Structure 1
């Protein structure tokens, strides 16, 4: 049986959000009394500040999500027309599909919040059901995006470091298998959350109706499995993937500078009618820099994508570190409102990154730009 606290800080100014509170926060359980009470710990934010900030972030995130849905849908359509004979097309298509899925899941969460805020009677408990049908999947899928970006960056590093062997190492079939493995190891564990929670029909005293809700499975095995999955899939994997992306991006930038220096020295030597070999001093290896211009353009595009990902993913990494460092910085801690607000702010990085990628493809990939223009009929007048 649930016992709800009737004390609200702002029932006069935010009547609709009082009901949203029940859908947003889990109930605190008092095992000694055998009941649960709903309370709001202020932490660093008052209820009024929390509601205003949360409302603004939700509307902002939905605008960004809409852009991400449109841009990633166009990117997928272009990559399908380009075909999958190139390994890079397979990995970039998978990245676009994951970015699109992230935007859809985030939209679903925002939609549930809006309906609750506008007093729409939902046939389910907003926060709990949305968490199991969107929130958990979004968190794990964001890790999938991080690992796909890490794979793309690592693949381009191989093209620079071992250009003669990369064709045998990176094949379309191998890339496809790698994408499946990444998805299985990062996203599929999100469905194991149903071991810890299950759907039930529960009576809602506010609506005076029975609605779909979720309850935790109080077994030691389920609790242990949840803790392990949260630490491994929710903290270790994202931070490790971020470290790989940063490392590979730094290596790619260093190699691109070497290539630029080599070409500048060759151009200068030709203008002075000197053999180019005399100007190769200081270059670590000629094989490192003699890559086709097509591959170089692809490397530069990957560097741009990885850089955007790093910038947008830094707030998420900071949030994960705070989650590990501070015991009360979580959904059930004293600072849970600050945790929710910061989580929503950091979650904006994923749709922003997914929305910008298409601009990188259009600017730096001539084939993508050509197919994109034909797809949206921009070249119709020229033809």
Structure 2
């Protein structure tokens, strides 16, 4: 979930520490200002509905995150054993590392929110600190995942469009450099959040304790920088990557259908097919139209990965547009409860996609399946079972 703070001064009090309320799930609401607006927003989601929905979303999110952590750990382990002589292994490993890191960041955010909801006395403001140490990074990392998926899809398109030149264009070293550039341009800007927000120690007079909190910097440069970074990194980059994935996936699907049609025609005319020596032009045409079974399996796997990514990223794109088009659609705005719940719903797409990828690799990649079975010792278990029988 992508949370962000509102403008507060250094004397902001943390409700979870000020008093043990009967409604611990409302700790984000800022009663120091715009209280009438926040009260009107409660008509969209009542206290009772909010108290039921939000814990359910936290537990559901964490369950999926646990699956993503386990699945991507196995993907990374298998790809390391396979080696990185193939460019596709490098990009898919980078994708798994990003999915794993994203699930860890979500886990940290969920933990802070869960402790906050249960009024656990933390030495820091759970929601605000988790935003600067996990929420902001997860938002940027989602963009990194989108661009790596776009790169994988584009790579497969090149294999189809220029099959004779692709090995010179896409090399292991070139793939590594491309992934590194993507990370630098999409994930590293997440640390720029510390140019617009900072950590502060806030004294709580009710409990006589000092907790770590965050406040936005009120300088004109910080505000302008924040707006520009949100538009570029939070809207333009994700939507552009999503468009590239969508276009490349459509091209790959069209090409796969052409290949299937070509193979059907070859099968139906198999007995009448001329030998290469008799018709070199026909042989050359066939070689250009067909694709090796290995390449075709890889293309189908990339199409499956991209399709799942598109399905999981559509809600994120809708959420990004809502944040830009709807006024006060933020953590402390008039629609704060809807923002929080929808943020959790939207953020489920990425870990789900990261969890499902291992099933795609296992189903469509024979080398991955073989190494995976040896890694988890499934082959040995089947062999022992057969010997007992």
Q: Same fold (TM over 0.5)?
A: yes
Is 2:222 the partner of 1:222?
yes
Q: Which has the higher contact order (CA 8 A, sep 6+)?
A: 2
Per-residue CA deviations over 1:306-354 (Å, capped at 9, x if unaligned) read: 0010111111111112222222322343112111111110100000000
How far apart are residue 274 of structure 1 and its match?
4.3
Looking at structure 2, the residues matched to 324 and 80 of structure 1 have their Cα atoms a distance apart, in angstroms, of: 41
1:174 corresponds in structure 2 to 174
Per-residue CA deviations over 1:262-303 (Å, capped at 9, x if unaligned) read: 011001101x434499xxxxxxx7565322211111000000
Q: Which moved more, 1:55-64 or 1:318-327?
A: 318-327
Looking at structure 1, the residues matched to 345 and 255 of structure 2 have their Cα atoms a distance apart, in angstroms, of: 34
1:356 corresponds in structure 2 to 356
How far apart are residue 15 of structure 1 and its match?
3.7
Equivalences for 1:318-333 in 2 at 5 Å?
A: 318-333=318-333
2:79 corresponds in structure 1 to 79
1:131 corresponds in structure 2 to 131
1:253 corresponds in structure 2 to 253
In structure 2, stretches of 5+ residues that fail to align are 1-9, 277-284, 385-389
2:239 corresponds in structure 1 to 239
**Residues 85/16 of structure 1: CA separation in 2 closer, same or farther (3 Å cut):** farther
Is 2:134 the partner of 1:155?
no
2:26 corresponds in structure 1 to 21
Looking at structure 2, the residues matched to 333 and 249 of structure 1 have their Cα atoms a distance apart, in angstroms, of: 38
Looking at structure 2, the residues matched to 287 and 323 of structure 1 have their Cα atoms a distance apart, in angstroms, of: 50
Looking at structure 1, the residues matched to 274 and 342 of structure 2 have their Cα atoms a distance apart, in angstroms, of: 59
Q: How many matched pairs?
A: 362
**Residues 185/287 of structure 1: CA separation in 2 closer, same or farther (3 Å cut):** farther
2:4 corresponds in structure 1 to none
1:47 corresponds in structure 2 to 47
1:338 corresponds in structure 2 to 338
**Residues 244/27 of structure 1: CA separation in 2 closer, same or farther (3 Å cut):** farther
State the superposition RMSD in angstroms: 2.4
Is 2:121 the partner of 1:121?
yes
Looking at structure 2, the residues matched to 69 and 351 of structure 1 have their Cα atoms a distance apart, in angstroms, of: 9
* Contact 1:3–1:37 under 8 Å retained in 2: no
Looking at structure 2, the residues matched to 27 and 165 of structure 1 have their Cα atoms a distance apart, in angstroms, of: 63
- Report the secondary structure of 1:379's partner residue: helix
Looking at structure 1, the residues matched to 78 and 181 of structure 2 have their Cα atoms a distance apart, in angstroms, of: 24
Equivalences for 1:161-310 in 2 at 5 Å?
A: 161-205=161-205, 207-270=207-270, 272-275=271-274, 289-310=289-310
The TM-score with structure 1 as length reference comes to 0.89
1:282 corresponds in structure 2 to none
In structure 1, stretches of 5+ residues that fail to align are 31-35, 278-284
Looking at structure 2, the residues matched to 155 and 16 of structure 1 have their Cα atoms a distance apart, in angstroms, of: 55
The TM-score with structure 2 as length reference comes to 0.87
Is 2:104 the partner of 1:104?
yes
**Residues 38/4 of structure 1: CA separation in 2 closer, same or farther (3 Å cut):** farther
Q: Which moved more, 1:328-337 or 1:79-88?
A: 328-337
Looking at structure 1, the residues matched to 334 and 287 of structure 2 have their Cα atoms a distance apart, in angstroms, of: 57
How far apart are residue 112 of structure 1 and its match?
0.9
- Report the secondary structure of 2:198's partner residue: strand
Is 2:372 the partner of 1:372?
yes
* Contact 1:266–1:276 under 8 Å retained in 2: no
- Report the secondary structure of 2:321's partner residue: helix
How far apart are residue 183 of structure 1 and its match?
0.5
* Contact 1:157–1:248 under 8 Å retained in 2: yes
Looking at structure 1, the residues matched to 203 and 233 of structure 2 have their Cα atoms a distance apart, in angstroms, of: 34
